[in-house]
Amino acid sequence: MSSPEKYLRPEVVRTVSRLDLRAKFIVEGFLSGLHASPFHGFSVEFSEHRKYTPGEDIKDLDWQVYAKTERYYVKKYQAETNVQGYLVMDLSASMAYTYRQEMSKFEYAICLAAALGYLMIRQQDPVGLITFDTEIRAALPPKSKRSQLGVILSILAGLQPSGTTDVAACLHRVATMAKSKSLVIVFSDLLTEPEPVLEALHHHRHRGNEVILFHILDEAEVHFPFQGTIEFEDVESTDRLTVDAQGIREDYLLALQEFTELYRTECGKSGVDYVPIDTSVTFDKALLEYLIQRQRKY
């Protein structure tokens, strides 16, 4: 069993804390000293303010904030602040794969989830966890209290991906579980037929959910570094296939390009953030690039 603390590293927190996951609602944050271990309490001053717009009622001004910053801010109303979030994690056996990287796809996904969960809790947004394979395995309701992230990571650190998966059916189920418009963040290698999954993503958008889809593949799955005659084993069915690596490399890479391009195009049409990542890119760099693009987008 892994230690949950390893998944949320202080140096990564310092990097991503400058950014705001909830990019459509960006405000100036007030971040104070962060403890080295986030599981012993976040020493964070949460921002519940936005800049004053001329014409608004001055009785809503927060004069304590003005005294600190010499800038005019008004307190946010509850309706402006709460964005309910779900971290949705694929537990299929293929997520445990790594060829030569330090982290498996699943461990990489946990690190991404840790940083994003931290950002949501820093914004005082409730965040929960849903894990799935062929069905929903765990469903931790969204909460915004500081201990929630430790609970989420403790659950994930105790899991070992195994068996097959039904991404589409489980995403449809998640859509019905979310009682209000939510931010749904999915972590999967998507090694299944894409059309049913895209249909499930459309279901979320129809219900008003915002979706971020992290498509996580191992570096070997993206670059196909294999040489000679090799035997591949399907980790979810134990089927084996012996091939000439050099002979199939071009066809494989073309098929992968078409696969990811289908997701990129269809997600773009429906307003889903599609984020393809391979595990040779450090997860903090990949996340930082995405968050910066997200802020520019909105």
Low-confidence ranges of the chain (pLDDT < 70): 1-5, 9, 11-50, 75-82, 235-237, 297-298
Co-location of 26 and 75 in the same domain: yes
Of the candidates 79, 114, 140, which is a domain's last residue? 79
Of the candidates 79, 104, 136, which is a domain's last residue? 79
Using one digit for the tens of pLDDT, what is the confidence trace for 218-275?
999 999 999 888 887 776 667 788 888 888 999 999 999 999 999 999 999 999 999 9
Co-location of 44 and 102 in the same domain: no
Instruction: Say which residue the tokens 């104070």 belong to.
Output: 32
Q: Which residues contact 80 (CB under 8 A, 6 or more apart)?
A: 25, 50
Q: Which residues contact 139 (CB under 8 A, 6 or more apart)?
A: 128, 129, 130, 177
pLDDT at 32: 26
Co-location of 75 and 88 in the same domain: no
Co-location of 87 and 75 in the same domain: no
pLDDT at 78: 43
pLDDT at 72: 80
Co-location of 253 and 173 in the same domain: yes
Q: Which pTM was predicted?
A: 0.77
Residue type, 185: I
Co-location of 44 and 173 in the same domain: no
Domains: count for the chain: 2
Co-location of 33 and 93 in the same domain: no
pLDDT at 18: 56
pLDDT at 279: 95
- Structural domain boundaries enclosing 25: 4-79
In whole angstroms, give the CA distance from residue 117 to residue 148.
9
SS3 183: strand
**C-alpha distances out from residue 59 to 29, 80, 105, 168, 176, Å:** 22, 18, 51, 49, 41
pLDDT at 244: 84
Of the candidates 59, 79, 99, which is a domain's last residue? 79
Co-location of 31 and 155 in the same domain: no
Co-location of 44 and 87 in the same domain: no
pLDDT at 17: 61
